[in-house]
Amino acid sequence: MLALSLCAAALGAIAGPAQAQKREKQLSGAFRTAFQFSGLGKEWWLAEYDHPAKWFRTSWRKDAAHAGPAGLSITLQTVPEDRRVSAGEMAADDGTLHSAGKTAKDFVSAQLQRRKWFGYGRYEVVMRPASGAGVISAFYLYTGAHFGDSHEEIDIKFLGKDTTRVEFNRFRDGEPLAEPPSVDLGYDAAQEPTLYAIEWTEESISWFYGETEAFRIRDASMVPRPPMKIYIDLWAGSARQADWLGMVAADVEAETLVQCVSFVPAGKSGMPQCSDLMQAQ
């Protein structure tokens, strides 16, 4: 599946602050961000660029993400004709076109990245993915060539064409799972925010929805290596991905809502997690 092996890898290829690959990759400790209470804060970074890949049709813009009482809203919309320029014009831009709100892409959305590096542990997200053919909402851990690493990744993906299912995948040395699982949730994930989690150890990876363990990898040789960064994004696929994602509507309007993200290092306990807030409700 070409689409599966391209999605987050291509998105993360140049994502992140320009000097990130030159810094020492010190592992972060535990954290919990409840966006409806804290907003983005200083530890989250929003992408602001047009991805160079021609097949990737979504531009990243900071103003497509807004923190409010409901959480962090990431929107995806069609770019109006009067804001579009050619890829060549955008590549040669000295900042003038970008400042004027121009883009060479068909759609605009947002990509969120945690600034620090992370290793083994439990990752939780409370989110409501976008619905609609051709759109994909993703929460994932990633590193790759931009950071001087091999492509390592663990992801949770929702295809907007059927949000009663969730897809899991992992990449080790750039190789995805031969058959990434698509799990029937038994509910529509696009109806309300729900807890999803990844437990990553040296020997295994487990994926969860709510308290249900949906899938596990038990072979240590298949487990990606740390460190990685945390990403969340919403984007629209291209015609080459239509068999996987469906065809996005030309006038699409979609929203992914993220309420909470947390991380607790392996072997630690008693630290705040998103699941604590869900239980409090």
Instruction: Flag whether pLDDT at 171 surpasses 70.
Output: yes
Instruction: Flag whether pLDDT at 14 surpasses 70.
Output: no
Q: Which segments of the chain does DSSP mark as H helices, in order?
A: 2-12, 35-38, 87-91, 96-99, 242-245, 274-280
Between residues 35 and 4, the one the model is more confident about: 35
The stretch 31-58 carries a mean pLDDT of 93
Nearest C-alpha neighbor of 133 from the set 254, 255, 248: 248
Q: How confident is the model at residue 244 (pLDDT cuts 50, 70, 90)?
A: confident
Look at residue 51 in the predicted model and tell me its pLDDT.
87
Instruction: Flag whether pLDDT at 248 surpasses 50.
Output: yes
Q: pLDDT tens digit string along 115-162?
A: 999 999 999 999 999 999 999 999 999 999 989 999 999 999 999 999
Percentage of the chain with pLDDT > 90? Answer: 80
Average pLDDT, the chain: 91
Which CATH number does the domain housing residue 208 bear? 2.60.120.200
The structural domain count of the chain equals 1
Look at residue 9 in the predicted model and tell me its pLDDT.
40
Look at residue 281 in the predicted model and tell me its pLDDT.
57
| CA–CA dist 54, 198 (Å, integer) | 31
To 5 degrees, how large is the angle CA 212–CA 213–CA 217? Answer: 170
Residue 132 contacts residue 277 (beta carbons within 8 Å):
no
Look at residue 52 in the predicted model and tell me its pLDDT.
86
Q: Which tokens is 29 given?
A: 């400790």
**Domain containing 38: what range?**
2-280
The stretch 90-105 carries a mean pLDDT of 92
| CA–CA dist 35, 43 (Å, integer) | 12
Q: How confident is the model at residue 11 (pLDDT cuts 50, 70, 90)?
A: low
**In this structure, what are the phi and psi dihedrals at residue 22, rounded to the nearest 5 degrees?**
-95, -10
| CA–CA dist 135, 236 (Å, integer) | 4
The stretch 190-215 carries a mean pLDDT of 98
